[in-house]
Structure formats: structure tokens, C-alpha cells
Amino acid sequence: MKPQINIRYGKLLDPFFKEHVLVKYPTYEFPTEEQVLTKVKIFQDTWKNYEDQFIESIKTVSGLSFKRSIIDCFIVSATPRDMSAPLIIRSRYDGEEFADIIMHELLHILLSDNKVNRFKYSKSESERTLNHLSVFALLNYFYIEILKDEKRLLKVKQKSKEGNNSEYARAWEIVEEVGYENIIDSLKVV
């Protein structure tokens, strides 16, 4: 099933996220509603360039399919982090960055909906690292095999490691060590 991805402003969610952000960043300057709505339009237009290709190629390579016919993606002015349950993404990105983020989050949804077992790796790794092995393997596949854009993959890897995120960095290392193809093949065994 190919889900309909509804990218829209999370107007009712936004005040809760603003309040949460202000606790840690009391001087944060939030974009106006008009600025967020402009970003929503940019995000919608950019996603159209990737949506069909991304969903179909991931479905083909993984053997998995989305279980939801509609996935709402709420854009908010700010949040400490983007998330997949519910799908909420901050407005600060440009169009290409948004596409990278939504692909990441949609992979979490896909893997969760299909109740896929995690790739078997050392039990000494953190939950967060292990939870990202399949996500990063599928992203690696998409950027290398479909988009044929190694430069963009490197940029995505760098961004995901920012903020001293050693767990993401470790997940990328494991994907490189094991090979994204092997991790993707393990999805089909479930």
C-alpha cells in the first residue's frame, strides 16, 4: 500500500512544543505562523519529487509495505527533536533537508508497522543504535542505489552525527562494517 502523506502545519500542537522548547532555550525566536506555512508549502513541493520513488524503491528492496493508508506529518515551529510517532518535524529545514528527515522518520514507521525484528548485532550496543541500523541501511540504499548521490549520503551522515550523537555515529559505523545490503536482506527473513 502506498500511503498518502499529509504534510501540514500542526497549529494545535505548536503551542505545546513552543512551551517545551522555551524551557531549555528561553531566548529562542520562533518563526511566525506565516513563515511556518511557507515552509509547509516548500516541504510539500519538495516531497513530491521523492515520494513515489522513495516509497516504491524501499518497498521493493525490503519486501515491506506501509500498513497505513494515510500518514499525517505535522510541521511545528520548533521541537527539541523530530519524531515518527506521531510524525512531527520542525520547520527550520530547507526543502532537501526536510526530504531527508521525513524519509528517516517514515522508515521508523514502516519498520514499526511491520514489526520487524532488529538486525542481530552485539547486545552491548545501545537501544538507539540498534533501532537505527535498519533505518540507516535503507537510507544508504536509497541514496546510493536510487538517487546515486554519495555526496548527499555523506551530508545526511554528518547531520545525523551532530550534537555529539555517538549512538547515531555508531549505527552508521555498523552499517558500513556489516554492509547495508546484509542488513536489508535480514529484513526479508522475518
Residues 136, 170: one domain? yes
Give a three-class secondary structure readout of the chain.
CCCEEEEEECCCCHHHHHHHHHHHCCCCCCCCHHHHHHHHHHHHHHHHCCHHHHHHHHHHHHCCCCCCCEEEEEEECCCCCCEECCEEEECCCCHHHHHHHHHHHHHHHHHHHCCCCCCCCCCCCCHHHHHHHHHHHHHHHHHHHHCCCHHHHHHHHHHHHCCCCHHHHHHHHHHHHHCHHHHHHHHCCC
Residues 17, 70: one domain? yes
Domain end: 91, 113, 135, which one? 113
pLDDT at 190: 45
Domain end: 86, 113, 140, which one? 113
Residues 102, 141: one domain? no
Domain end: 113, 138, 159, which one? 113
Residues 93, 142: one domain? no
Q: Domain for residue 38, yes or no?
A: yes
Mean pLDDT split into 10-residue runs, the chain, 190 residues: 95 95 93 98 98 97 95 96 96 97 97 86 88 96 97 92 83 96 82
Residue 44's domain comprises: 4-113
pTM: 0.94
Q: Domain for residue 122, yes or no?
A: no
Residues 59, 140: one domain? no
